[in-house]
Amino acid sequence: MLHRWRGSGHHRRRSTPTGGSDRTQRIQPYWGKIIRVRLAAEGRKCDRDSVRDYQVNQLAAPHGDTCLLELLPLPSPSTKDWIYGRHSSLSLLKNRPAYLAELVPRRVHALRSLISEHRPPYVIFVGLSYAKLWNSVAGTDLPTRPERPVTCPGSPTRMVISRHPSSRGVTNEYFEQIGRALTNNAV
């Protein structure tokens, strides 16, 4: 939506000769739930085969219409773990607070600019612990209840903050509800 994935790093496609997905392809737990948002928003079936097919053939496809962006580009097992200080002499990687202080303002600005430029129909911000930062990207207070997405002033983009897919107690239905709410005109 915001930008098409280009270059290396795209997941390897696995499809059958008929174009369908390989039934042995494992659905990645994180992306499987995010895919359910997309399928539900389009009024499509959200069963395992549909999720698997989208993961294999459409998620971040080079000529697709989805964009997958991270607020913070370095992976970490949790917000409490910080491994980079042991492996780098860069001051911004010394600890998580230094990393956040250096990168968050730039990343918030960049994400906000991309949304403004490309005006996607919807944006799902993942992770309630970053709600203040997501509000900064959106330029407004966003709901943390999936049934109440917000259309931002001066923009056609509907936005919502979701719980993280690996959060305890989060169900597939929760993400499907977000998808249905994003396309429901009654806000």
pLDDT in tens, 92-151: 999 999 999 999 999 999 999 999 998 898 899 998 888 999 999 998 888 777 667 777
Residue 102 lies in a domain: yes
- pLDDT reported for residue 37: 94
On whether the pTM is more than 0.85, the answer is: no
CA dihedral (42, 155, 118, 142) positive or negative:
negative
**Would residue 7 count as lying in a domain?**
no
Q: What is the extent of the structural domain holding 33?
A: 29-183
Q: The sheet that has 158-162: what strands, in order across it? A: 122-126, 158-162, 150-151
Evaluate whether residue 65 is within a structural domain: yes
Nearest to 97 by CA among 69, 126, 72: 72
Q: Is residue 13, in this structure, part of any structural domain at all?
A: no
Residue 176 located in a structural domain:
yes
Please check whether residue 159 lies inside any domain of the structure.
yes
**What does pLDDT average to over the chain?**
83
Please state, in angstroms and rounded to a whole number, the distance separating the CA atoms of residues 7 and 31. Answer: 20
